[in-house]
A = this chain, B = another copy of it.
Amino acid sequence: MVTGVGGGVTRFKAGDTVGVGYFVGSCRSCDSCGKGNENYCAGVVQTSNGVDHAHGGVPTRGVFSDVIVVNEHYVVRGGVLRRHRRERALRGPRPGRPGADRTAPLLCAGVTVYSPMMRHGLNEAGKHLGVVGLGGLGHVAVKFGKAFGMKVTVISAFGMKVTVISKRQEAIEHLGADEFLISRDPEQMKAATGTMDGIIDTVSAWHPITPLLALLKPLGQMVIVGGPSKPLELPAYAFLPGGKGVAGSLVGSVGDCQAMLEFAGKHGIGAEVVVIKMDYVNTAIERLEKNDVRYRFVIDVAGSLGSAA
Residues on A lying within 8 angstroms of B by beta carbon are 31-32, 37, 39-40, 42, 116, 119, 194, 217-219, 224-237, 239-250
Contacts and interface: CB of A to CB of B under 8 A. Distances in A.
Given A241-B250, A250-B241, A232 B236 contact: yes
Contacts of A230: 235
A249 B246 CA distance: 12
B218 A40 contact: yes
A239 B235 CA distance: 17
B248 A243 contact: yes
B243 A239 contact: no
A27 to B, nearest CB: 12
Contact of A248 (B40, B240, B250): B240
A186 to B, nearest CB: 19
Contacts of A243: 37, 39-40, 116, 119, 247-250
Nearest to A40: B218
The 4 A-B residue pairs with the shortest CB-CB distance, nearest first, are A240-B248, A40-B218, A245-B247, A239-B248
Given A224-B240, A246-B246, A37 B234 contact: no
A218 B32 contact: yes
B250 A247 contact: no
A150 to B, nearest CB: 16
Most B C-beta atoms less than 10 A away, residue of A233, A234, A243, A244:
A243
Contacts of A119: 243
Contact of A31 (B217, B224, B235): B217
A231 B234 CA distance: 5
Nearest to A226: B236
B250 A219 contact: no
Given A242-B248, A245-B245, A249-B243, A228 B236 contact: yes
A244 B241 contact: no
A44 to B, nearest CB: 9
A11 to B, nearest CB: 25
A133 to B, nearest CB: 14
Contact of A250 (B31, B42, B234, B240): B240
